[in-house]
Amino acid sequence: MIYGMYLSAQGAEANSVRLDVLSNNMANANTTSFKRDVPIFRINPPHDQQEGALNPLPGDLENHSGGISLETITTDFEPGSLITTDSEFDLALKGQGFFQVGSAQESFLTRNGSLSLDGDRRLVTADHGMPILTTDGREIKVPLEATHVAITPDGVVTPFDTDDQPMGKLGQLAVVMPGSLDELVKIGKSMYTTEGRVNPLEGPANIAQGFIEASGTNSVEEMMELVTSSRMFESNINMIKLQDESLGRLLQSVPRR
């Protein structure tokens, strides 16, 4: 019966983690270029099968076999759909890749191409105020005389004057890929950092000006999973209560000496 309580507690713990992950995905359903997290669980062989029926159960929840446990939480980097904004400072990546933002000394990766001009007329991320970087690690500074800016699919930034004439290229935006997506660490608001190697994107970049990338969260699917996980959590809690009550009645039925 105690073993059954262990299994139910594991189930409750696993679904509690799943609820946290799904809730965070739901909270970011409208966050530009957000990538949903996916918890991966491991089904453990029963104690008797793994340790033998004659070996005693461990005294803590973490070390006993059987039931289900969290293996890892991974991120789904599947590109999201594009939303038209017609803003000249909104960029979206079609396909793989990340923009590089920050400085030459410390840079971060993001697919959130919602940009704006700061007080120094640098092209920065609208959410963080971080400069977006070029392929040679420079910031983009738009001349005061420029009336608008054009950005080509491969990231070349060109300002135009009042006569709609190009004022010269300001640089080419860097589009990169980490050595492995598994090395990326979320730091919030669709930003990532990595201690691994970052390489230029293989093949041409495909930047769409006037678009942003939608969140990777599908609200309907996440809500259905949220309801299912909530019910599974409640079922495990009820099983713990039921087994606890049964154990209490069993102990009360034992005659006292």
How do residues 22-31 score in pLDDT, each as one tens digit?
A: 999 999 999 9
Q: Which contacts (CB < 8 Å, 24+ apart) does range 52-60 have? A: 57/2, 57/3, 57/6
Paired tokens of 127: 């959410």
Of the ranges 56-60, 68-72, 110-114, 154-158, which one carries the lowest mean pLDDT score?
56-60
Partners of 102 in the β-ladder: 107
Top pLDDT among 256 and 176 is at: 176
Average confidence (pLDDT) over 4-12 = 85
The answer to whether residues 174 and 198 touch, using CB atoms and an 8 Å cutoff, is no
What span, in angstroms and rounded, lies between the C-alpha atoms of 3 and 65? Answer: 10
- Give me the residue label for tokens 């400072």: 89
What span, in angstroms and rounded, lies between the C-alpha atoms of 251 and 248? Answer: 5
What span, in angstroms and rounded, lies between the C-alpha atoms of 39 and 72? Answer: 6
What span, in angstroms and rounded, lies between the C-alpha atoms of 101 and 104? Answer: 9
What span, in angstroms and rounded, lies between the C-alpha atoms of 176 and 179? Answer: 10
pTM above 0.75, yes or no: yes
The answer to whether residues 22 and 226 touch, using CB atoms and an 8 Å cutoff, is yes
Please tell me the predicted confidence (pLDDT) of residue 248. Answer: 85
The per-residue pLDDT for range 193-232, each reduced to its tens digit, is 998 899 999 988 999 999 999 999 999 999 999 999 999 9
Say which amino acid occupies 171. G
What span, in angstroms and rounded, lies between the C-alpha atoms of 92 and 115? Answer: 11
The per-residue pLDDT for range 34-50, each reduced to its tens digit, is 999 999 998 887 777 76
Q: Interhelix angle for 219-253 vs 2-27, to 10°?
A: 160
Cβ atoms within 10 Å of 171's Cβ, excluding its own: 20
The answer to whether residues 32 and 93 touch, using CB atoms and an 8 Å cutoff, is no
For the four alpha carbons of 61, 67, 71 and 73, in that order, the dihedral sign comes to: negative
